[in-house]
Amino acid sequence: MRSFWKELPILVIIALALALLIKTFLVQAFSIPSDSMQDTLQRGDRVLVDKLTPWFGSEPERGEVVVFHDPGGWLGESQTKSSGPVAEGIQKALSFIGLMPSAEEKDLIKRVIAVGGDTVSCKRGGKVMVNGKPLDEPYIFPGNTPCDEKPFGPIKVPEGRIWVMGDHRQDSLDSRYHQNLNNGTVSVDDVVGRAIVIAWPINRWATLPVPGTFDQPGLGAAAAMAPSALGFAGALPIVLWRRRRLIAKVRTEAESRPERLTADC
């Protein structure tokens, strides 16, 4: 029994170190503070965010739900409610090891609609268009329209940035409302990670997969360039053939020229 009490502090330190390591490099818990992602996410849900894949150079993809730092002014001036020194101390300790979200961090959660190189737009009464392809969006909050209250675009998303929107379109101050700053796009460097699962409450447990609408053929910006790429691929053999003929002709003329000079002499 005595050895157990001696080892207990070491076990606690190891557990805290592992929790901190997991929070820093693997996953972190975030609380949903608003209704901007309904019905996919409800206010008060706890989601687990994958922080590992960005360490390997992975960037956000269309359809993923991501957590990102406030790019600047998206959240405005929010006033923090004081819950007393004891409660604040507990929250800081738990947020330090990743078991609770920090009250001081200014993070947002939205769905990635377009990535670097994409062109995104939406007209009143229409669907969101990405590279000329309409998105069928079953995840939008019932009764909402894709963008009737805030049509936009077309906007070309710069490389290294993303265009994000909330699933509750009429209750989400997303990329559409911040076009005065980098056309509303968010730097991938500000992305904390991808939300992969709703972990709490238990009756809300669910994964957060990429909707099928983002898998439709031709959605990628590269696919929009396919006709010209195919044209180039088709023309390349002809160009090479003509180049070989020209080289052969020049070589033949060069070989025959000394003979004529010798004859003239």
Active site residue 36: yes
CA distances from 82 to 43, 77, 78, 113, 260 (A): 20, 16, 13, 36, 100
The catalytically annotated residue of 23, 36, 95, 175 is 36
The first and second tokens of residue 239, run together, are: 């160009």
**Residue 133 forms beta bridges with which residues?**
130
Catalytic site includes residue 106 = no
Half-sphere exposure of 91 (CA within 13 A, CB side): 14
Query: Annotated catalytic residue: which of 23, 51, 95, 110?
Result: 110
CA distance 240 to 238: 5
**Cα–Cα distance between 90 and 68 in angstroms, integer?**
24
What are the catalytic residues? 36, 110
